[in-house]
Copies of this chain bind each other. A is one copy, B any other.
Amino acid sequence: MAKEEKKFITKKSENLSQWYIDVVLGCELADYAPVKGCMVFRPYGWSLWESIKEYLNKRIIDTGHVNAQFPLLIPESFLKKEAEHVKGFAPEVAWVTHGGDEKLGERLAIRPTSEAIICHMYSKWINSYRDLPVLINQWVNVMRWEKKTKPFLRTTEFHWQEGHTAHRTHEEAMEEVIRMLHVYRDFAQEDLAMAVLSGPKSDSEKFAGADQTHAIEAMMPDGKALQSGTSHDLGQHFAKVFDIKFLDDDQVEKYVWQTSWGVSTRIAGGLIMMHGDDAGLRLPPKIAPIQIVVVPIIFEKSKSEVLEKAEALAKALGGMAVFGRPVRVKFDANEQVSAGFKFNHYEMKGVPLRVEVGPKDIEKGNVKIVDRISGAKEFVSVNFSDYSFDPAEFTGRLEAAQKNLFENSQRELESRTLEAGDISELENIVANSRGFAIVNWGGSDEDELAIKERTSATLRVLLEPVKDGNIKCFYSGNPARCRAVFAASY
C-alpha cells in the first residue's frame, strides 16, 4: 500500500470472472508466474492458505492421522503400474529428463498425485496386521499440465494435502472414506463458511485408479459447481500392483485396502468467489489472516495521543481469543495514506472488523466498529485509561459474522438447487446459470456423456436411492436408481 491509488474492481454482479481476477490481483493474493499456468502466492494469499491449512490439518490430526513427506519425483515405471492411474494422469505430467548435464535412464514425473510413490514405500513398511491401519497425510506441491488455468481454481502447480491410508478390511477402508468426506464437509461449512453437497461420484467421474470417489461440491455465484475435496475408495488396485501385503492373524497373507483423499488450494478460490462482493473480498473470520484492523484517525494536533492509544488498544484486542485462538489484529499506523484510503483497502481485503480510533472517540470513551460482513457500523465502549472493554463486543461480532456467512451460503445453495423433470429443464437450469439440477437417475455412462454434450452439465454427486420402481430416470426413462445432482462446473 505504497501510493494512494484506489484499486479498480469490476462489479461482481456484472462480470464474475473479471471481478475474480481483479480481486485476486488487486488484493495481492496472487500474481501470475512466468511459467504458464503457475501462480505466485503473495504474502496475503499465502497467509490465507496457511490459515486454511491450520484448520484442516487440525481435523486431520484429530481423526488419528500423522503427517509425513514423500519425494517430489516419481519414476515413470511406477506411474505405469496401475493402468487406469497412468491413463488418467500421464497426459498432464511434467517430465524431468535431465539431471545436470546427464540424460536420465528413466523419465521422472513431478508428482501429479502421490499414490505411486507412497504405495511403493507402503509395500516396504507393511508386513503384519499389527502394522495396520497406516494413516498418513502430506501437505505438498503437485503439478498437472493444465490447458486452461485460473489463479487458485486451476493452476499447473498447486498445493494440497493428500491422505493415503491402508487398512485390513474393505469395511474399515470405507469407514475412512466416509470419515474424511465428513471431515471435508465440516471443514468447508464450519471453518470456511461454504455450504456444500456431498456424496459419491458416478463411475465416469471417479479418480483414475479408484473403485469409487466421494466428493464435496460447492455452488458458485454463476451457478457452476466447484468440486472442493475428494475421498477415494482405492479398493485393492494399488495394493495388487505394488504388492502391499500383510500377514493377517489367521496366518494368511492378504492385500491391504486403501483410501486416498485430498483438498487443494482450489478451495481458496472457491471461498473468494463465494463470499466476496462488489467491494472485494469478504473473508470468514475463522480463517481471515487479519481479523480486526485498527485504523487511527489522524489529525496533526492529536496525532501522538491517537497513535499511542490506538496502538495500545490494538495490543489489548490481540490479547483476546476467538475460535479458540488469539485474535489476529493489525494496527495500521501508515501516515502516507489517508484513513479513507485504509477503509477502502481493508474492505477490499475482506478484513471482518474495522475499528476506528479518533480523538473524539478517545474523548467519549468509544470506538467505531465497522462490520465487513453485515455492513453494520456501531460504537462500542472502550476505557482508554486501562484499555478495558467488553471482549464479546468484538469476538461476538466475529462469531456472528462467521455464522452469517455460512447461513448466506446455505441459503444460496438451497435457492440454487432445482428439480429437473426432463432434459430440457436441466438444459434450462444450466443455460440460465441457476445451479444444481436434481434429477431421478437411472442412466448409463453413455447417457452422462450425451447429457454433458448437450448441456455441458456433469453428474456432480449421487444422492439417496430411489426405491419406488415406478419412478423413471429423467433422461433414459429406465427405472431410476437414485436421486442425482447435475451441474455445469469449474
Evaluate contact between B136 and A43: CB separation under 8 angstroms.
yes
> How many angstroms from the CA of A75 to the CA of B38 in the assembled complex?
12
Q: A85-93, A187-195, A270-278, A440-448: which one contacts chain B?
A: A85-93
A100 touches B110 (CB 8 A): no
Stretch at the interface among A28-36, A201-209, A388-396: A28-36
Could you tell me the distance between the alpha carbons of A74 and B38 in the complex, rounded to whole angstroms?
11
B101 touches A91 (CB 8 A): yes
**In whole angstroms, what is the CA distance A159 to B69 when docked?**
10
- A67:B95 contact, CB within 8 angstroms: no
A324 at the interface (CB under 8 A from B): no
How far is A39 from B108 in the complex, measured between Cα atoms in Å? 15
Q: Give the interface residue-count category, chain A.
A: 35 or more
A58-75 CB mask vs B (1 if < 8 Å, else 0) is 000000001111111111
Give the residues from 273 to 300 in chain A that come closer than 8 angstroms, CB to CB, to chain B. Answer: none
- The B-contacting residues of A in range 33-54, CB under 8 angstroms, are 33-35, 38-43, 45-47, 49-50
The residue on B at minimum CB distance from A116 is: B34
Query: Cβ of A131 < 8 Å from any Cβ of B?
Result: yes
Q: Does A120 contact B (CB under 8 A)?
A: yes
Interface centre among A38, A50, A94 (most CB of B within 10 A): A94
A124 in contact (CB, < 8 A): yes
User: Which residues of chain A (248-285) have a CB below 8 Å from chain B?
Assistant: none
**Min C-beta distance of A155 to chain B, whole Å:** 9
A2 at interface, CB cutoff 8 A: yes
Give CA–CA (A470, B360) in the complex, Å.
Answer: 71
Asked if A431 is at the interface (CB within 8 A of a chain B CB), the reply is no
Most buried by B among A68, A69, A157: A69
Q: Knowing that A35-B71, A94-B98, A97-B98 are A-B contacts, what are 9 other residue pairs whose CB atoms are under 8 Å apart, sorted by A's residue number?
A: A33-B117, A34-B117, A34-B120, A43-B66, A43-B68, A47-B66, A96-B110, A97-B97, A99-B156
Give residues in A with beta carbon < 8 Å to B.
Answer: 2-3, 31, 33-35, 38-43, 45-47, 49-50, 66-75, 78, 90-101, 107-108, 110, 117, 120-121, 124-125, 127-128, 130-131, 136, 138, 140-141, 143, 145, 156-157, 159, 336
Q: List 8 A-B contacts (CB under 8 A).
A: A34-B75, A38-B73, A40-B71, A40-B121, A45-B68, A47-B67, A73-B157, A100-B145
